[in-house]
Amino acid sequence: KAIYPELFVQFGPGKCFLPKYYSDHSEFIENFEVREDDLWLMSFIKAGTTWTKEMSWLIGNDLDYEGAKENTYVRFPYFEFDATWEVASVSDKLKKEEDLTPNSMQIVQNKESPRFIQTHLPWTLLPKQIRNGEKKPKMIYVARNPKDVCVSFYHHRVLIEGYLGSLDDHVEEFINDVVLYAPYWPHVKAFWERRNEPNVLFLTYEELKQDLSGVIDRTAQFLGRPVSVNEKEKLLAHLSFESMKANPYVNHDEVTDLLTKIHGVPKQSNFIRKGKVGSWKEELSQGKPSVKLKSSVCPLKSAVMISLQKL
């Protein structure tokens, strides 16, 4: 059963790999009205977005743990998320669940300030006002070792998209830039080059793992809301892997349970899954992928071929 959307586009100067539906929104995003007091959280998919979101939302909202009892998608919307992406990527069944998948860009546009906005879009596809420096909102970028991103992404695809390919298939697609938001390196590099700008905070997943306390301090300073020693103790506990995994407002259990049911497969992992640095060593095979891509097991690959032929 082909679950992945049928057609993709490689969009913009960086040829970012996106569902075809993105074209319907690109102009809206390009001309999106940015506010100086927005906080934008940018990342490649699976780089530690949810973790960084929770940390920065709490620091930016005066450690309001009551307020954090609202789904992270509502508090900190996923900017370019659109119902049609998900509907097409899952199945007709989800079409009936329209409430689950609103057009996030409209919601962000109408949100009161200060807005907390999350995006996986690369620098080249961000709203024009950010790229040309007309507006300078605070921006946090979180990066992660691409091998861990790649493995985490594979489990994400199995869980969220009902991906039918093997890990080797996925790796091949990842290194050939035919996975969502690819290519990876220019995505990170664009923010790495801007890491010293005063409105940019560049973090890594590995730093969060190694020294969350230090990262909290840097984020607190960046957001202008110092965190005391006592406050930090509670925040560290809240952001621990175990606590995040058990927190229904960040772990997306409702959505992943529903999707698993739709895919008709046993749930093999959770959104907040392993939470380790270097776990790629346990899963990636040595050398070149041994399995040749077959379009029968890998609907994405055939979809890509069709879309590229049509461009």
The residue from 120, 155, 252, 263 that is catalytic is 120
Question: Within positions 131 to 150, which residues make up the interface with ligand A3P, using CB under 6 A?
Answer: 148
Question: Within positions 233 to 262, which residues make up the interface with ligand A3P, using CB under 6 A?
Answer: 239, 241, 244
Q: How far is CA 150 from CA 4, 47, 217, 270, in A?
A: 18, 9, 29, 16
CA dist., res. 72 & res. 250, Å (int): 6
Instruction: Report the amino acid identity of residue 178.
Output: V
* Residue of 20, 115, 155, 187 interacting with ligand A3P (CB under 6 A): 155
Is position 63 an interface residue for ligand A3P (rule: CB under 6 A)?
no
Q: On the CB side of 63, how many CA atoms lie within 13 Å of its CA?
A: 18
Is the Cβ–Cβ distance between 216 and 234 less than 8 Å? no
Is position 130 an interface residue for ligand A3P (rule: CB under 6 A)?
no
Site string for ligand A3P, 6-45 (x = CB under 6 A): -------------------------------------x--
Is 170 one of the annotated active-site residues of the chain? no
How far is the first Cα of the chain from the last one, in angstroms, to the nearest whole number?
25
CB of 109 to ligand A3P, least distance (A): 24
Is position 272 an interface residue for ligand A3P (rule: CB under 6 A)?
yes
Is the Cβ–Cβ distance between 221 and 160 less than 8 Å? no
Structure-token pair, residue 285: 């095979």
For 162: left if phi > 0, alpha if psi spans -120 to 50, otherwise beta; the answer is left
Is position 157 an interface residue for ligand A3P (rule: CB under 6 A)?
no
The residues that are catalytic are 120
Residue ranges that bind ligand A3P, judged by CB under 6 A: 43, 46-51, 148, 152, 155, 239, 241, 244, 272-275, 279
